[in-house]
Amino acid sequence: MSRLDLKAFMQMKQRGEKITVLTAYDASFAQLFEQAGVEILLVGDSLGMVIQGHDSTRPVSLDDMVYHCRAVALTSQCCYIMADMPYHTYLQPTQTVENARRLVEQGGAQMVKLEGGREQLEVIEALVAAAIPVCGHLGLLPQSVTTPDGYKVQGRDAESAERILADAILLEQAGVSMLLLECVPAELAKRISQRVAVPVIGIGAGVDCDAQVLVSYDMLGISGGHKARFVHNFLRGNDSIEMAVQAYVQAVKDGRYPAAEHTYQ
């Protein structure tokens, strides 16, 4: 069984078929998610909060990411594997390429994801030149949040919305193969998804994105603390984790998730 690739996701976008994404941090969950029909596994630096117990993603190291990415890659046979580049690992082009190569060569990732807009064009271009696929991340940028009240919806006023849209276009021109939009109004996410050719993954970004992602612990209702508006517990009403993941996949495919109550205006 061969792994899904970027061509497959471009074709899905063109057909209007939704793409499903979940975070995965270990071998057992990676295998279960794949068997339940998830197409992309994101080894997220969210592990700093849900696995390690930190109050932000910043303490996560590159060694942490390589370790968890490798665990995911060992049991996944066909999912596409994306890995976050941790805080301060993509400050300049040479360092970025070296760090990304560790995630790919040692961790088994097919793509790396990094946060930021136009300020990241140089490092994105360096990664693309090194044949390392990149997912850009716009909207709420968790690595930039330093206090609990910093998790706010982005792009609600006209000026910031236009900047995010412009950044999305610039990142596509720089060569990203996917974009992730976090906590932005649904209408802005729809505009961006229609404007760029690459698949757009949403989290708190409305139903019109090409793909949806959730932190798996949130999707299963097993993470503590404040729950963002877009979080939905798919384990409630289902008898097993496998059934919960299948329910998530089907809800995304059918366009039932995210619903209006999960969406920012």
What is the Cα–Cα distance from 6 to 17, expressed in whole angstroms?
Answer: 14
Dihedrals phi, psi of 77, to nearest 5 degrees: -105, -35
Residues 6 or more apart in contact with residue 159 via CB below 8 angstroms: none
The neighbour count for residue 237, using CB atoms within 10 Å, is 9
Run of H or E residues at 242 = helix 241-254
The HSE-up count of residue 150 (CA atoms within 13 Å, CB side) is 11
Quick check: 25 and 68 in contact, CB under 8 A? Answer: yes
Active-site hit among 122, 182, 187, 242: 182
What is the Cα–Cα distance from 131 to 179, expressed in whole angstroms?
Answer: 17
Q: Where are the alpha helices (DSSP H) in 109-240?
A: 121-129, 158-174, 186-195, 216-219
Indicate the SS3 state at residue 248. helix
What is the Cα–Cα distance from 99 to 90, expressed in whole angstroms?
Answer: 8
For the question of residue 187 being annotated catalytic, the response is no
Question: Catalytic amino acids?
Answer: 182
